Chains A and B, each alone.
Chain A
């Protein structure tokens, strides 16, 4: 097998390094998106009431936002370095598609965030209340728009649309910017990812506030109580919406990445009226069919169905893995023949070779390539087993994500019930500001849970699309650069040290700032 010409360990190290970088990067992003929203709501309260309490409160949360923002700056840029070094074939393949969204992201991030962040931190005494409020909202909006473009790029890898492969340049070229930017996959991913980040922000605010209540800090008591109230509303709305957008995402995944859905459910043999497993052996009847198709009797293919081929509800036939692999090989052979004919034609035009009717030959190869291009990636697959993602990781990551999601809905419902003392009989002897300590500790413990929930979502998204870097078009084995594993392993450990140090610094500064409290002394 030709794959043996590359260092196979390099593939694993490159994947591990990318996963490490992405996971660490995602520790900073959701808090920026979530806390950004909550601090903006708080400043809006100040704008509307003119009460200096809300100004102090907004400033306090903005300080914590600033720490997280500063720690997260540029951690994502390393992913782009990795594309160029470890994933050069992939990088070349997608260059034209990724260029536009990432350039927009860079420009928006730089100009919008840097301008309005400065006004937000430096402008309290220098600009009007309205302008300052607008800057705070625009800081959050800038971060959210940045996330949009990054998620558009990621979504294209999962559902490549709005493009055409050019065999001369070996690149995918964009044919429709709007198809790329507004693909259903991108919209679902954006809504689910950003909204679930609000949960992280809400849990964080509740946890920090709970700590003040736990420590009986009088100076922060009012801020803590009012912050919890706002965060509880944001958290509940976000948790419910994350469930709804998650349901919509599952349907999109069922349509365009059925193997991912089958792996999430460890569903080997599918069918109609499928139940959703809570854990192996216990399931909710019909729930998987409903989740995937909005129909309790809907057909959901399992891993074996996808490998063997199956007929969809609309009567269309999904070819077997073997047929896709055969057609992928036809596509690769046609691509190679086309490129060889194109090179020979150049020689002919330069007077170095006789005419062999190159134009007709190229067109013939191009036609074969176009007929089979949707299965190009399958031509690199040696054994159909390679097409099955890691089932256990997908299965459990999905359950962790959904389980914590359900827990957060419950948590915020109970929290709001406690705040508003509803029903009165249940809460009459309880004051939210003077609960037994374990209540506050529970809220604090939910912070790592929120991060685990958020990261689990990414594990499902990224493990579930294996072995593809671009769905059906390019597998990881063809995407990776022909580099030594030692070089990638070195940078892996380097990143581990760097990011862990950054995280430790962030936590340290954050805790010090929290201890200082609202007065910042």
Chain B
């Protein structure tokens, strides 16, 4: 890849930028931990897709209709 090409310069921007980070390292570490907690721990263990888990595939509308009907006075 030529050093003057757009892709090389774009790659270099990120490569150098990440290499020379100081405060950024701490921030990226926090972002990483946060994303792990949000997408791995919270999403997988605490936030299931309620309809996906409780309704038959393709019959979600029927499930919601029943759920909603059950809330009428």
Contacts and interface: CB of A to CB of B under 8 A. Distances in A.
Interface of A: 1-3, 5-6, 63, 66-67, 70-71, 73-74, 77-78, 81-82, 84-86, 88-89, 91-93, 118-119, 121-123, 126-127, 168-171, 329, 332, 335-336, 339, 379-382, 477-478, 481-483, 487, 490-491, 494, 498, 502, 505, 509, 513
A82 B27 contact: no
A382 B73 contact: yes
B6 to A, nearest CB: 12
Interface string B17-41: 1101001101110110011011000
A509 B68 CA distance: 47
A126 B72 contact: no
Interface string B46-64: 1111110000000011101
B30 A70 contact: yes
7 contacts: A70-B27, A81-B47, A171-B61, A336-B65, A380-B72, A381-B73, A498-B37
Nearest to A329: B72
Nearest to A482: B67
**In terms of DSSP, what is the predominant structure of the interface of chain B?**
helix
Contacts of A382: 73
B65 A491 contact: no
Given A67-B27, A494-B42, A170 B50 contact: no
Contacts, number: 124
Given A74-B35, A121-B17, A382-B73, A513 B23 contact: yes
Contacts of B20: 122
Nearest to B26: A509
B49 to A, nearest CB: 5
Contacts of A74: 31, 34-35, 38
Given A6-B71, A82-B47, A483-B50, A122 B30 contact: no
A339 B64 CA distance: 12
A478 B50 contact: no
B24 A121 contact: yes
A518 B41 CA distance: 38
Nearest to B71: A478
Among all A-B residue pairs, the 10 with the closest Cβ atoms: A122-B17, A88-B50, A70-B27, A81-B47, A382-B73, A478-B71, A170-B61, A481-B50, A85-B47, A92-B64
Which of the listed residues A85, A339, A494, A502 has the most CB atoms from chain B within 10 Å of its own CB?
Answer: A85
A152 to B, nearest CB: 24
A379 B72 contact: yes
Contacts of B35: 73-74
A494 B41 CA distance: 11
A5 B64 CA distance: 15
Interface residues of B, number: 39
Contact of A122 (B14, B27, B28): B14
Given A70-B30, A332-B72, 17 more contacts: A2-B72, A3-B73, A63-B23, A71-B30, A73-B34, A73-B35, A84-B48, A89-B67, A92-B60, A92-B61, A122-B17, A122-B20, A335-B65, A339-B62, A380-B73, A382-B73, A478-B68
Nearest to A115: B10
A6 B50 CA distance: 14
Contacts of A513: 23
B69 A118 contact: no
Contact of B27 (A3, A66, A482): A66
Contacts of A336: 65, 69
A380 B71 contact: yes
B71 A84 contact: no
B46 A491 contact: yes
Contacts of A84: 47-51
Given A81-B43, A121-B24, A126-B12, A170 B64 contact: yes
B65 A170 contact: yes
Nearest to A512: B23
A77 B71 CA distance: 28
Contacts of A66: 23-24, 27
B23 A1 contact: no
A73 B31 contact: yes
B55 to A, nearest CB: 9
A89 B68 contact: yes
B17 A1 contact: no
B69 A332 contact: yes
A487 B47 CA distance: 10
